[in-house]
């Protein structure tokens, strides 16, 4: 009997298996690989590493396959990995020291999922290394777990600094959605048989990936009343629930969920970004900017590995909180905060900051600078750049930017509204109208496009559509007092054009 068995289930993993086995070959005494129907070179690669290969007929149950692999594993300790995971080299000595002990322990390892497309990562802790005793088994047909069984068998749990790189979600947004669509069927089927909070959490995550925020919210809300459910998982639920309430203009509820998320887990920088948006919408500008700085500092520490947490942590592009803070301070004309974020951005991304400062100074871009500017535009800085361009003194000189962003972000209502404003200021009212209408088709969550549309219709002397747009605003944004007050003012001004039935006079 060896000290450590690598236990795996695989199917058609010829492109990823070798790197996984390379990462573990110098420490694993035994490699048990259970194949569920490969038709490529997966098994040939496994044989090159002297793995013990077994076949298992797939029954749409990951735990069944895992438990079969476990039944074939003879090591005193078990490490289970997927083919798209790699044990980090500097974690090998730590694993070696742990497996020299004989105690009923499960080790919660850091599983780091990176996404180069988004320049982001998520760190989750899962029990992947555990002492092998009879009676231990995986549970859950889709998101299988071993931890519940360990605890039921009086195991202790520890959180050593063992790190595993997970490349399975290093995919484009489209590919991640395809993967989520495939997974959803099995998750819902499992939930119909076992409506646990963990299963509800996983379904919520899947709907979140599929951009169905309302269904995600529904499943997340099923977890937060469960006192036994993990606080770190709850923090993710609170994060997305707060974001959803914010999108529905329910600021107090959004703030409540955000605060609960921070109580459950203080190491999620996204929660501070959500808090900054809430404070901004409430008019608390200094608090909103301070939240962006907190998000920046925490995110920087996570990226630089200056911070360790036993809870879920995430990271994103280091510039994202700076751009959000800059957007808020520009929108509120807070010069002191603008300067603070510019200084940090200049330290973090000097070439980007140079282009942004040229916009601030109303410099007219050469063709070369246009190309440079296009290269720095991302989802993370888009809103900030649009805010700066909105104050640019030569609107006719930035139509090229409007065309570029509308082509590259066609489903972003704020982009389309910005384009409408650009063309309206340039005197092209009909084109502005088209952009505003497209913005409302893409999203009904932002009233600004509707008001701008009314404005351009008035300028074009096209009054017939205005009553319908006002009715739309009253229906969609009735919960926002400032919007309703603005509608009252607008209706008073429009009395000259319409009679009491809403017909044009």
Contact predicate 274/250, CB 8 Å: no
Tell me the CB-side half-sphere exposure of residue 83, using CA atoms within 13 A: 18
Query: What pLDDT, on a 0 to 100 scale, did the predictor assign at position 501?
Result: 45
Separation CA 96–CA 59 (nearest Å)? 35
Query: What pLDDT, on a 0 to 100 scale, did the predictor assign at position 48?
Result: 97
Phi/psi of residue 85, each to 5°? -120, 150
Separation CA 24–CA 364 (nearest Å)? 56
Contact predicate 81/164, CB 8 Å: yes
Burial class for 49, CB neighbours closer than 10 Å (0-12, 13-18, 19+): middle
CA 488, chain centre distance (Å): 38
The contacts found for 371-380 with CB under 8 angstroms, 24 or more apart, are 373/401, 374/404, 376/351, 376/352, 377/404, 377/405, 377/408, 378/317, 379/409, 380/316, 380/317, 380/319, 380/320, 380/323
Provide the residue count of the chain.
505
- Which residue intervals of the chain bear CATH 3.90.550.10? 4-108+123-161
Separation CA 110–CA 128 (nearest Å)? 9
Closest CA to 388 of 434, 430, 352: 352
Query: What pLDDT, on a 0 to 100 scale, did the predictor assign at position 375?
Result: 87
Tokens of 414: 């704020």
Q: Which residues contact 290 (CB under 8 A, 6 or more apart)?
A: none
Separation CA 301–CA 358 (nearest Å)? 30
DSSP state of 201: H
Query: What pLDDT, on a 0 to 100 scale, did the predictor assign at position 171?
Result: 80
Assign domain 4-108+123-161 one CATH number from 3.90.550.10, 3.40.50.10880, 3.40.50.2300, 3.40.50.1820: 3.90.550.10
Phi/psi of residue 21, each to 5°? -65, -35
Q: DSSP letters of 231-267?
A: HHHHHHHHHHHHHHHHHTT-HHHHHHHHHHHHHH-TT
Fold of 177-315: 1.25.40
3-state secondary structure of 504: strand
Separation CA 422–CA 396 (nearest Å)? 7
Query: What pLDDT, on a 0 to 100 scale, did the predictor assign at position 261?
Result: 96
- Which residue intervals of the chain bear CATH 1.25.40.10? 177-315, 364-447
Contact predicate 130/101, CB 8 Å: no
CATH architecture of the domain covering 364-447: Alpha Horseshoe (1.25)
Burial class for 252, CB neighbours closer than 10 Å (0-12, 13-18, 19+): exposed
How distant, in Å, are the alpha carbons of 20, 31, 86, 306 from that of 15? 10, 18, 13, 33
pTM of the model: 0.82
Closest CA to 288 of 332, 233, 231: 332
SS (H, E, C) 283-328: CCHHHHHHHHHHHHHHHHHHHCCCCCCCCCEEECCCCHHHHHHHHH
157 forms beta bridges with: 106
pLDDT in tens for each of the 505 residues of the chain?
569 999 999 999 999 999 999 999 999 999 999 999 999 999 999 999 999 999 999 998 999 999 999 999 999 999 999 999 999 999 999 999 999 999 999 999 999 998 877 777 888 888 999 999 999 999 988 888 999 999 999 999 998 989 999 998 888 888 889 989 988 998 999 899 889 999 999 999 999 999 999 999 999 999 999 999 989 899 999 999 999 999 988 999 999 999 999 999 988 999 999 999 999 999 999 999 999 999 999 999 988 877 666 667 888 899 999 999 999 999 999 999 999 999 999 999 998 999 888 888 888 878 888 888 888 888 888 889 888 887 877 767 778 888 888 888 888 888 899 899 888 988 899 999 999 999 998 887 778 899 999 999 999 989 888 989 999 888 888 888 888 888 888 888 887 666 544 455 5
């Amino acid at each position: 009997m060896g000290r450590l068995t690598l236990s795996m289930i695989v199917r058609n993993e010829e492109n990823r298996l070798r790197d996984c086995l390379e990462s573990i070959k110098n420490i694993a005494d035994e490699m048990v690989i259970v194949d569920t129907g490969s038709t490529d070179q997966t098994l040939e690669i496994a044989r090159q590493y002297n793995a013990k290969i077994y076949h298992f007929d797939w029954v749409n149950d990951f735990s069944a396959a895992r438990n079969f692999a476990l039944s074939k594993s003879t090591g005193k300790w078990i490490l289970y990995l997927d083919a798209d995971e790699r044990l980090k080299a500097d974690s090998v000595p730590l694993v070696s020291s742990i497996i020299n002990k004989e105690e009923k322990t499960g080790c919660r390892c850091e599983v780091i999922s990176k996404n180069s497309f988004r320049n982001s990562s998520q760190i989750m802790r899962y029990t992947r290394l555990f002492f092998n005793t009879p009676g231990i088994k995986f549970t859950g047909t889709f998101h299988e777990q071993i931890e519940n069984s360990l605890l039921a068998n009086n195991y202790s749990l520890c959180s050593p600094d063992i790190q595993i790189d997970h490349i399975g979600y290093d995919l484009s947004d489209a590919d991640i959605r395809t993967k989520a669509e495939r997974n959803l069927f099995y998750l819902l089927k499992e939930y119909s048989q076992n409506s646990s909070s963990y299963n509800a959490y996983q379904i919520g995550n899947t709907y979140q990936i599929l951009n169905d925020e309302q269904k995600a919210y529904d499943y997340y809300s099923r977890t937060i009343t469960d006192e036994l459910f993990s606080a770190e998982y709850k923090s993710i639920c609170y994060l997305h629930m707060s974001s959803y309430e914010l999108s529905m203009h329910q600021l107090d509820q959004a703030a409540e969920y955000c605060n609960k998320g921070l109580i459950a887990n203080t190491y999620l920088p996204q929660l501070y970004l959500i808090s900054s948006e809430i404070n901004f919408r409430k008019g608390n500008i200094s608090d909103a900017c301070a939240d962006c700085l907190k998000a920046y500092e925490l995110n920087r520490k996570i990226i630089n590995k200056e911070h360790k947490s036993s809870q879920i942590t995430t990271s994103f592009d280091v510039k994202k909180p700076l751009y959000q803070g800059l957007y808020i301070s520009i929108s509120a004309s807070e010069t002191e905060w603008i300067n603070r974020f510019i200084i940090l951005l200049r330290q973090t991304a000097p070439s980007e900051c140079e282009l942004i400062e040229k916009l601030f100074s109303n410099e007219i871009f050469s063709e070369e600078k246009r190309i440079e500017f296009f290269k720095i535009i991302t989802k993370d800085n888009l809103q900030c750049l649009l805010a700066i361009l909105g104050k640019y003194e030569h609107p006719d000189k930035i139509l090229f930017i409007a065309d570029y962003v509308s082509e590259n972000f066609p489903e972003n209502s704020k982009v389309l509204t910005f384009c409408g404003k650009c063309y309206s200021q340039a005197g092209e009212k009909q084109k502005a109208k088209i952009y505003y209408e497209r913005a409302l088709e893409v999203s009904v969550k932002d009233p600004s496009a509707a008001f701008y549309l009314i404005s351009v219709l008035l300028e074009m002397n096209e009054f017939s559509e205005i009553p319908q747009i006002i009715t739309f605003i009253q229906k969609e944004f009735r919960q926002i007092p400032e919007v309703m007050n603005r509608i009252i003012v607008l209706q008073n001004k429009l009395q000259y054009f319409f009679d009491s039935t809403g017909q044009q006079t």
